Amino acid sequence: MSNASQSPLSPLPALDRPEVAARLRDALLGASFTADGLLELLGAPAYAALARSETVPALRATRGDTPLEMLVRLFLLQQPVPHARVANVLPVDACLATGWLKHAGADELAATVDVRPYGGPGGEDWFIVSDLGCAVGGAGGIASRDEGVVLGVGGASTTLAGITVRTPVGAALDLGTGSGIQALHAARHATRVTATDLNPRALHITGLTLALSGAPAADLREGSLFTPVRDDETYDLIVSNPPFVISPGARLTYRDGGMGGDDLCRTLVQEAGERLNEGGFAQFLANWQHVEGEDWQDRLRSWVPRGCDAWIVQREVQDVNQYAELWLRDAGDHEGDAAQYQARYDAWLDEFEARKVKAVGFGWITLRRTGAAVPSLTVEEWPHPVEQPLGDTIRAHFDRLDHLRGHDDAALLEGHFRLAAEVVQEQVGLPGAEDPEHVVLRQNRGMRRATRVDTVGAGFAGVCDGTMSAGRILDAIGQLIGEDPVLLRDRTPAQIRLLVEQGFLDPVR
């Protein structure tokens, strides 16, 4: 890949000089240009303001002469810095020669890319490279001028990184890698990482992100969706934060899929199944249409490829007006010509009207390749707060499904269960009433679910510590409440299955 991008955006640093990236990394770490260092320097309010694309607090906090203040102004705030100050901290000649820095006036230097410190899940100090002005917050309208722009880490990126199942694997695939954040995470637990993108500039920047973070290089391939993947290649993990925005056209490469409606997300999900190894996971963020006269859950069920379990979670729904306004603002269209803004708004609504779309959903899709005769398919709406990271929660969900599939009711009652960590019981009813109207079990970890149970279910869950079989617990409850144990054994397995499936009870294996 050439040192310069093919787009009209500014040239990028060289990829063929890893030793310079290593020297630059050492210098950045030596000056505490890390996520923790930034938080300590800027303080929480200014640090949070950066995520909202507000730079004034950070500029005010970096008016001193320390190396860290200089690096923040240079790489995060895109301020020219005197040559002499940079030379005291960075290997200037090497950075100029390889394109990390450029001259800005007679005696000042400027960065050619954004570099954002990012803390890895194991305490690693990583650096995410992106185009100028795109490391923090949104594109701020930059994308409306340069369709090939590569953004840094946003909320969607961190969401996908948080829900991804992190187990050691042989081969991982990051489709639509962007600035390389998913490939960087995958490099921690995958022997081989392949990263693809339709935008060659994104591939180049991914290479820079990996090099500057001290991670192994990935196999970088240009192309759309699975096109760059050979027919004989399969993976243990596939992740993608695709250009999922449902828009009229493909004006912005980083977000607009270019296919009609939600066809890009559907195609991505449908084609992933045959690319997975047995037991492998494919995890995506996606948008989907809510079409008049069609159940949105049925629409998503039709996407799931044969031979795959699926867990699909809808996190948010917006009506078509809200959705159009969100992405028009993302591109900075609201700050331009009013007539052009109105015309683009009309085009979005025309597109939705033609497709009979009344709203758009956003959420997570997880597939797992399975040899089960009847795969499990869960599609649900869960707009409530969750606790990230959720990778272990998602992996455990599929493990519990395997257990339930392999145990009929008789076997289930012979099994042992343990109440999951930090599950509490709430009793709801009128003050002074002898008995509660209903009992709720609530998780304080993971998905933070709540589910209503009857007194038998609550009593059963409370006794589950792994020592007694489910059947013996029900026998004891039957004696305690004066109910026929045989009837309890007959009617309770369905409730036990639900509590296991939703993560309130864990099978003791």
Annotate 346-400 with three-state secondary structure.
Answer: HHHHHHHHHCCEEEEEEEEEEEEECCCCCCCEEEEECCCCCCCCCHHHHHHHHHH
What's the half-sphere exposure (Cβ side, CA atoms, 13 Å) at 266? 16
Give the neighbor-by-neighbor strand order of the sheet with 81-82. 81-82, 108-111, 101-103
Can you give the pLDDT at residue 147?
67
Question: Is a pLDDT exceeding 80 seen at residue 253?
Answer: no
Looking at 23-32, 336-345, 429-438, 479-488, which range is the least confident one? Answer: 429-438
Give the span between the Cα atoms of 124 and 118, in whole angstroms: 8
Question: Is a pLDDT exceeding 90 seen at residue 144?
Answer: no
Q: Which helix (H) or strand (E) holds 426?
A: strand 423-428
Can you give the pLDDT at residue 256?
83
210 against 5, higher pLDDT: 210
Contact 384, 448 (CB under 8 A): yes
**Could you identify the residue written with the tokens 């929660």?**
393
Dihedral over Cα of 113, 117, 120, 125: its sign: positive
**Could you identify the residue written with the tokens 């996606």?**
286
Mean pLDDT within 23-51: 95
Q: Which helix (H) or strand (E) holds 4?
A: none
pTM greater than 0.75 (yes/no): yes
